[in-house]
Chains A and B, each alone.
Chain A
Amino acid sequence: MTSANAAHSVVEPSAVVRRFAGSLVVLYAIITMIPLVWIGLTAFKSPDDAISYPPKVLFKPSLEGFCNLFTTRSRQTPDFIKTLGPPQGLCDSIARSRNMVVAGPSNYVPRFFNSLIIAFGSTVLAVALGTLSAYGFSRFRVPLKGDLLFFILSTRMMPPIAVAIPIYLMYRTVGLSDTRLGMILLYTSVNVSLAVWLLKGFIDEIPREYEEAAMIDGYTRFQAFVKVVLPQATTGIAATAIFCLIFAWNEYAFAVLLTSGNAQTAPPFIPIIIGEGGQDWPAVAAGTTLFLVPIVVFTVLLRKHLLRGITFGAVRK
């Protein structure tokens, strides 16, 4: 099409519309980003700057928040502090300037580690179970297929926390409360219904001929599934994995209720970091900022699949 007779296209939006839509998206992105930016900034503020009013946008950056996140400190008299040797590292010197000494590491690292194990563990399990059952529902004549699928979906029809008390009692009885395994099983059971439904859509779109061809060529059904279906379902698996991971990673209510000393994840831990005279906001912000990193990394690694995954199946070929 030449510019001279560029016809009004029904499909392509005009430049004005496109620019307007673009600026709307940018505006929305900025609004969404503000809380994140605010948390990121707060992580580098000193406790005084963090609670000053009006809020400071320009401030002297400090690592005190991160130090307080990773350590526990005890207050000492200045005289006692003078009797100690030179400060051991940056955090110790920051602490000493506030008449405190570092007493030891905080629980943040083990809580973070719990989060990693529980979130990734339940994601792997939910996606694995979801892929297998979605394949079964997609390919075989399952008796009561529609009812079973509806039953699986119906577990999502109430907020999971509605069953918190029974689960709490059950977990106490079977000894799963405050265990990583218990949390993995719990998040898996919540996610697996989502995984089955998402993945069934993806697997339905993969023509049966691929497996049939492989089976005629001498492969068993399971080999055909692994060699032919799985590689083509990667997009769906990746998208499903991200959704499952985000849920398990962010989950707060069950974690508060079911975990404490042993299997506690990061979300219930971060908001209760107490400094002197109340909440230690820079430490909370630092903990939150670091908490975002794994999800960001995982999503960036799989973003190619995610984008296709969300729009997949929306338009029939």
Chain B
Amino acid sequence: MAQIRVEALDKSFGAFHAVRAAGFTVEDGQFLCLLGPSGCGKTTTLRMIAGLELPTAGTIRLDGEDVTMNRASARDIAFVFQLFALYPHMNVRRNIGFPLKCEGIGAAECDRRVVEAARILRISHLLDRSVSGLAGGDRQRVALGRAIVRKPKCFLMDEPLGALDTEMREAMIHELRALHDRLGATTVYVTHDQLEAMAMADMIAVMNDGVVEQVATPREIYDRPASLFVADFIGSPPMNFLSFRSGLQSGAQAIRLGERDIAIPAAREALAESDLVLGVRPEHVRFADRGVVRGEVYGSEYLGTTQIVTVTTRYGALKARSPSSISFRIGDNVGLDFRPDTLSIFDKTTGRAIRTALHEGAAHG
């Protein structure tokens, strides 16, 4: 197993700049998710780590060794593809054993390792089946088998669950995480599905437009998004944004929004008057008659124990998560309050989060 270190990685395809100065470190045994919308460069980054694409600039280190320009076959890594890439002309046993064949491992040892991999993934009964008849989940297990049989330095997975149906995906999320805990393998996992990332990752690297926006634990990413994009991308429904214009004193405990003061975590930097955005998660919006923002109920989505209520305000539509027991009628005039210690403030121009007391828990959060 190994540490993966990516430094200032750049990749252009002609005029298209796919990845810009991406940098992060995956510690030995860590599970890192590269998360972002399609086209954000996450798959390109993964393919560069694998050696399937060569970067335009930057370095990739595996356990300290610079492998940036090494051939894929010389990196000793395993890759799991979204569409499994099982060889249709081989049965399950030969598919799993395929990576061993080129290493000159003896037939007996090879078979022993194939059987062991199959046992770990609980597909022993499928070993002599053709891969074309397998269900999606089993195909993915075979693909994983092909990855783990070689005991590589690290696993790279490109949306391996993307082709599965929801139910299968749920099951595989837990299986993958359990497999990771069991093997302790350094893993980089690409997905656009934040639920997958949240459920599995030790660390998440959120990418957008070729740029790594934030690398942090799932909790950190959710509670203290480093940029407007991360705040918007993570969470369903996403964070509410209220635009306002103001300066900020270091140590300020409130901002002026319209005619009302809103308490915020104490600011830790000073800012000249500029366009700012207040970010509020829907679950931190409370209905209160004397709330700081007033609006009209536009509609609500029933989700079982909770509901998402959309309220039209002068700052745009705000979403609030509230218990289903409260009933709202469309057109109701309501007041909203925000939980002060959870609020984020962003610089609208740069998208960067302003440092506040919120970030002080970060180190031990």
B78 at the binding interface (Cβ < 8 Å): yes
| CB < 8 Å neighbour of A216 from B51, B87, B88, B103 | B51
Residues 78-106 of B at the A interface (beta carbon under 8 Å):
78-79, 81, 83, 85, 87-89, 98-99, 102-103
| Known contacts A212-B52, A212-B79, A223-B102; A218 and B73 CB within 8 A of each other | yes
| CB < 8 Å neighbour of A209 from B51, B71, B81, B150 | B81
| A223–B101 CA distance with the chains assembled, in angstroms | 12
Chain A 209-236 interface mask (CB, 8 Å, partner B; 1/0):
1101111111110010000100110000
| A85–B57 CA distance with the chains assembled, in angstroms | 92
| CB < 8 Å neighbour of B73 from A207, A216, A228, A232 | A216
| Known contacts A215-B73, A218-B73, A223-B102; A210 and B85 CB within 8 A of each other | yes
B50 at the binding interface (Cβ < 8 Å): yes
Q: Would B87 and A219 count as touching, CB distance under 8 A?
A: no
Chain B contact residues, majority secondary structure: loop
Q: For the side of the interface on B, what is the size category?
A: 20 to 34
Q: Would B99 and A218 count as touching, CB distance under 8 A?
A: yes
| A214–B85 CA distance with the chains assembled, in angstroms | 9
Residues of A within 8 A of B (CB-CB), count: 16
| Known contacts A207-B83, A209-B81, A223-B102; A215 and B88 CB within 8 A of each other | no
Chain A contact residues, majority secondary structure: helix
B141 at the binding interface (Cβ < 8 Å): no
Q: Would A216 and B78 count as touching, CB distance under 8 A?
A: yes
User: Which residues of chain B have C-beta atoms less than 8 A from A216's C-beta?
Assistant: 50-52, 72-73, 75, 77-79
Q: Would A210 and B87 count as touching, CB distance under 8 A?
A: yes
B146 at the binding interface (Cβ < 8 Å): yes
| A212–B99 CA distance with the chains assembled, in angstroms | 12
User: Which residues of chain B have C-beta atoms less than 8 A from A228's C-beta?
Assistant: 87
| A215–B103 CA distance with the chains assembled, in angstroms | 12
| CB < 8 Å neighbour of B150 from A212, A215, A217, A219 | A217
| CB < 8 Å neighbour of B89 from A212, A223, A231 | A231
Residues 109-135 of A at the B interface (beta carbon under 8 Å):
none
Q: Would B79 and A232 count as touching, CB distance under 8 A?
A: no
From A212, A220, A223, residue with most partner B Cβ within 10 Å: A212
| Known contacts A218-B73, A232-B89; A213 and B81 CB within 8 A of each other | yes
Q: Would B85 and A209 count as touching, CB distance under 8 A?
A: yes
| A217–B89 CA distance with the chains assembled, in angstroms | 17
Residues of chain A whose beta carbon lies under 8 Å from any beta carbon of chain B: 207, 209-210, 212-220, 223, 228, 231-232
Residues of chain B whose beta carbon lies under 8 Å from any beta carbon of chain A: 50-52, 71-73, 75, 77-79, 81, 83, 85, 87-89, 98-99, 102-103, 146, 150
Q: Which 5 A-B pairs have the closest CB atoms?
A: A217-B99, A209-B85, A231-B89, A213-B85, A209-B81
List 15 other contacts, CB 8 Å, given A218-B73, A218-B99.
A207-B85, A209-B81, A210-B87, A212-B52, A213-B79, A214-B98, A215-B72, A216-B73, A216-B77, A217-B102, A218-B102, A218-B150, A219-B102, A231-B89, A232-B87
